[in-house]
Structure 1
Amino acid sequence: MPHHESAIVDGVTVDLRHWIGGTRISSPTTFPDYSPLDESLLGDVAAGGANEVDEAVSAARAAFPAWAALPVAERSAILRRVADGIDARVEDLSRLETRDNGSLIRSHRRGVMPRVAMNFRAFADFAEQQLGHPDLEVRDHRERITYEPAGVVAIITPWNAPLMLATWRIGPALAAGNTVVLKPPEWAPLTASLLAEISAEAGLPPGVFNVVQGLGAEAGAALTAHPDINRLAFTGSVPTAGTISKAAAENIVPLSYELGGKSPLVVLEDADLDLAVSIAVEQFDNAGQVCLKAARMLVHSSLVQEFTERVVEGAATLRQGDPRDEATDVSALISRRHFEQIDGFVERALADGARALLGGGPNEELGGLYYRPTVLVDAPPGSEVLTEEVFGPVVTIESFETEAQAVQMANDSRFGLAATLVTGDRTRAERVSAQLDAGTVWVNCFFVRDLEAPFGGNGRSGIGREGGIWSFDFYTNIKNSVFSPQGWKEN
C-alpha cells in the first residue's frame, strides 16, 4: 500500500486519500502535513489538482438530482445520523484536530465537536421548519414561494477551526438539497477525512459529500474556477478572496465570504471592570488565531491604567504548552511561516515605538512554534499593528476620552466582522452598539451566537450572511410561481 494512504495520529487512524463519489481516491503526488506541537510529520496527504476536482464535481453533479428530490424529512434524518456519528467520535475528532492544528483538546471535547454535530442537527431541523412557505394571495392570484437547491456547492475552509467552520457550511448546503465538494486546509486537513467516513456510515449517498485535499494554488484554484459549481463558500484571507472572486466571476457563481477581522473591544467608563478584563483575557484563546477576536482594546482614559494592569496580570497566568493537556490555556501557532509572520508584526510594532508590557516574542522555554501572549501599548495611531490583522496571541490597548471618540476609533478599520462593547448603562449600550460598524456586536459578552442568527462581516470582513434562513437564502434558488384565477379548464 502506498505510504500516503493512511496514518495513525495520537491513536486515531485517518485515511490520507481523497473522498470522491463514495470512494477513496489516491493521487500521484502528496503534500506533507506537520503538527504545530513539535513540527513532526503526521503524514503525506494526497495532493489533488484539476483532475481530482473535476472528478469530485462530476460525482457531486451526478448525485444531485436524487439528493435534491429526496423529501426534506428524509434528508434531515440522514443528517441527524451524521450528527450522531460525530457525537460518537468526539474523542477521536478532538485528538486528531488538536494534533493537526494545535487547538486545545478541552475546547474540542466540551464545545467545538458538540457544535460540529449541532451544525448538522440544527440545520436539519431548520430545513424542515423553514423551507416550506405559505402561499400568498395577491389580487386573487396565488403566489407560491419555494426554496430549490442550487446544485453543487464548493466549500473552502481555514485551518484555525477546520471541522467546525466546514460543517457550518456543509450542514445547511446538504439540508437544502445540494451536493458538496470540500477543499480542507492544507495545514490541517485530517478531520475532514474522518468526517467523510462518518457521513458514509450514516448513510449519506455516494457523491453527495466529497473531499478533495491539496494546496490552494492547485486544488483550490481548480475548484473555484470549475464551470459546474453553483455556489462557493470561503473562509480565509482577503488576498485569497480576491483571487477566488476573479475565478468565480468567469462563471457568475454566487459567493459567501467570511474573511479577516480587526475587531475592537470598547470599554466605556461605566463598565464592569471585572467583566471587561475577563473578556480581554479570553482573546488569547486558540493562541489568538481567531478571526473574531477583539485584538484592538479601546478603553476609557479613567479605566485604562487599571484595565491594562489587570489584563497583563491575567494573561501572565495563562498556561502555555501542549494542548493535549487539559490544563493548557495557550498552545502553539499553526506553522513556522505563520510564526515568523506574527513575530514580524511584533518586531515592527516595537520598532515603531510600541511597548510590550507582556510577551513580545517567542516562548524560549518551550521553543518550537510557541509564541508568548503579548500585550502592546503606545503603538502610534495608524500603525500596522493597529490596522492589519495579526492572527496570533497579540493585542493592543489604546485609550479614548469620549463616547464619540470611542465609536470613531472602533470604526476606523477596513474590517467589520465583530465588535464587543462593555458598559453598565442599557441606554448607552443600545446607542453605541447601533453605531458600531460590524456584522456582530456583543454587549457585555463574547462569542455567543445562535445558529439561527445571521453571521458575516462588513467591509473587507466578507460578503453576505449565513445562519438560519440566511443560509438557505444563499444555498437555494428562491422561486416565486404565480397562479392566475383565469384560464382554467374544468378537470
Structure 2
Amino acid sequence: MADRIVVAGVPVDTRHWIGGRRVASVETFTDHSPVDGQPIGEIARGGPAEAVAAVAAARDAFPAWAATPRAERARILHAIADGVDKRVEELAIVETTDNGALLRSHRRGVMPRVAHNFRFFADWLLRLDHDDFETRGHTNHVSWDPAGPCVLITPWNAPLMLATWKVAPALAAGNTVVLKPAEWSPLTASLLADIAAEAGLPAGVLNVVQGYGAEVGDALTSHPDVRRISFTGSVPTARRIAASAAANLTPLSLELGGKSPLLVFADADLELAVELAVEQYDNAGQVCLAGTRLLVEESVASEFTRRFVEKAAALTQGDPRDEGTDIGPNIHPRQLEKIDGFVQRALGAGARAVIGGRRKGGQYYEPTLLTHVA
C-alpha cells in the first residue's frame, strides 16, 4: 500500500495517526469518489490492534494535556484554525472528491466553518468561569474537569466540519481524542491530523484511526479506558455503540438525524417558503437537519407546488467541482439504493412524483418531490 495518495494535486497520507506518528495496517480498504465512482486510493484498515494503540496513546497523553493551562490550549486551537485557513482550497477539493458535496460550498462555507469551530471553543474556554457562592454558610466552587480519552465517530455527509464540532470542544476541555472518520469519506481527517501536528498539538492528544465500524469501531467503543463517546450516524449503529458503552458505563452522546417537517401556512411569504424548501436539496439532500417533509396548508398548496417545481427545475445537477452545479451525487451506491427504495415504495403506495423519481446515472438521483402521500 502506498503511504500517500495525491487527490486533485493534494498529497494525503493514507495511514492512521497514532501517538504523533503515522501507522500502517496490514489490510486496506478502497476509497471511491462519488463524483465518478472511480477509486481514489487504498486506505489503512484499522482493527482491534490499532484501536488499542490509539486509546493507549490518548490515555498516556491525557495527564499532561489536562494540566496544560487554558490559555495554552486555546493558543494551540487557534493555531489549528490558522492551519485550516491556510489550506481551505486543499481541504475543499479533497473533501469534494471524497464525498461529492459542492466545491463552492466547501470553499465559501464549510471549510471556513471548520476553522471557526476551533476558534469558537478556544475563546469559549477562556471565558468559562464561575464565581464562588455561599449557601447556608457553605462555600460552593464550580470547576470544569476533563474526563479523559474520548472516542469520536463522525459521519460522511460533512466529514471535516462535523468532526471538528466534536474534536474542538473535546480538546478545549482538556480531553484527548481518538477520531474515527466514516469509511466512505476518510481523507480530510488525515489532513486534520497533519494540521494539528504542525500547530504544535502534543503527540497522542489527537489520534485518527480509519476503518470499518464493525472492526475498529467496536474495539474503540468497548475499550475500558475510554471516558466519553460521541457518535453521529444511524440508529442501528447507535444501538450497537450504546450496548458497547453500557458494559463500562461510558457516557455517550448520540446525534441520529431527524425527519422534521417544514411547515407552510396560508399567511406565509410563499416566495421565501419555496426558496427554503428547495434548499433542502442541498448536498443531494444528505443533511441530517433537512426538512424533507413539506406540510403545506391546503389553500396555498397548489401555488406553493407550482412555484416549487419552477424553482427546482432551474437547479443544475452534475459534477460538484463545477461552479455552476447546484446538486451533486450521492455518497455511495448503497445510499443511492436506499433513496430509490424510499421513492419506489412511496410511488407503489399511491404517491405521485411531481418532479424526479428516477436515477440519473452514476450515483446521481434526480431531485424529487412526491405529493399525495399518506
- In the alignment, which residue of structure 1 is the partner of 2:65? 67
Corresponding residue to 1:219 among 200, 216, 219 = 216
SS in 2 for 1:147: coil
Q: Which one of 293, 296, 301 corresponds to residue 290 of structure 2?
A: 293
Decide whether the 8 Å contact of 1:20 with 1:211 is kept in 2.
yes
CA deviation vs aligned residue, 1:461-488 (integer Å, no higher than 9, x gap): xxxxxxxxxxxxxxxxxxxxxxxxxxxx
Cα distance, 1:336 vs. partner? 0.9
| Counterpart-to-counterpart distance in 1, 2:345 and 2:138 | 66
- 1:88-108 CA-to-partner distances (Å, cap 9, x unmatched) read 000000000000000001101
Please state how far the C-alpha of 1:268 moved relative to its aligned partner: 1.1
How far apart, in 1, do the equivalents of 2:205 and 2:182 lie? 20
**1:356–1:375 Cα contact (<8 Å) kept:** yes
- Asked if the contact 1:162–1:188 (Cα under 8 Å) also holds between the matched residues in 2, the reply is yes
What residue number does 2:357 align with? 360
2:119 to 112, 118, 121: 121
| Contact 1:4/1:30 (8 A) holds in 2 | no
Per-residue Cα deviation, 1:189-228 (whole angstroms, up to 9, x for no partner): 0000000000000000000000000011111111111111
CA deviation vs aligned residue, 1:7-51 (integer Å, no higher than 9, x gap)? 001111100000000000000000110000111110110000110
Q: Name the counterpart of 2:102.
A: 104
**What's the counterpart of residue 148 of structure 2?**
151
Partner of 1:375: 369
What stretches of structure 2 of length at least 5 have no aligned partner? none
1:173–1:180: 8 Å Cα contact kept in structure 2? yes
3-state SS of paired residue (2:363): coil
Shift of 1:56: 0.4
Measured after TM superposition, the shift of residue 295 of structure 1 is 0.4
Say which of 305, 308, 311 aligns to 2:308: 311
What value does the CA root-mean-square deviation take over the aligned residues?
A: 0.7
1:37, 1:260 → 2: CA distance? 24
Give the deviation of 1:139 after TM superposition: 2.2
Percent identity between the aligned chains?
A: 62
Distance 2:312 2:229 in 1: 39
SS in 2 for 1:170: helix
Residue in structure 2 matched with residue 261 of structure 1 by the alignment: 258
Q: How many residues align?
A: 374
Q: SS at the partner of 2:143?
A: strand
Q: How much does 1:111 deviate?
A: 0.5
Within 5 Å, give how 1:36-435 maps onto structure 2.
36-130=34-128, 132-363=129-360, 367-379=361-373, 381=374
Distance 2:219 2:257 in 1: 23
Give the structure with the larger helix fraction.
2
Gaps of 5+ in 1: 382-491
Q: Partner of 2:25 in structure 1?
A: 27
Compute the displacement of 1:263 (Å): 1.2
**1:436-475 to 2 correspondences below 5 Å:** none
Structure 2 residue identity aligned to 1:91:
E
Q: TM-score, normalised by structure 2?
A: 0.99
Q: Distance in 2 between matches of 1:67 and 1:54?
A: 20
Distance in 2, matches of 1:120 and 1:297, equals 35
The letter for the 2-side match of 1:34 is: H
CA distance in 1, matches of 2:57, 2:133: 38
Q: What do residues 103-129 of structure 1 show as CA deviations (whole Å, max 9, x unaligned)?
A: 001101110001000111100000110
Q: CA deviation at 1:341?
A: 1.2
Q: Secondary structure at the match of 1:107?
A: helix
Q: In structure 1, what is the Cα distance between the partners aligned to 2:289 and 2:29?
A: 30
- Give secondary structure in 1 for the equivalent of 2:290: coil
Between the aligned partners of 1:136 and 1:325, the Cα distance in structure 2 is: 58
User: Which consecutive aligned stretches of 4+ in structure 1 deviate over 3 angstroms post-superposition?
Assistant: none
SS of residue paired to 1:333 = coil
1:111 maps to amino acid: G
- Specify the code of the residue in structure 2 equivalent to 1:180: V
TM-score in terms of structure 1 length: 0.76
* Cα distance per residue 1:141-199 (max 9 Å; x no partner): 21111000000110000000110000001000000000000000000000000000000
Alignment partner of 2:364: what SS?
A: coil
Partner Cα separation in structure 1 for residue 71 and residue 231 of structure 2? 28
**Paired residue type of 1:45:** I
Cα separation, 2, equivalents of 1:270 and 1:293: 23
Deviation at 1:303, TM superposition (A): 0.6
Question: Is contact 1:4–1:46 with CA below 8 Å preserved after alignment?
Answer: no
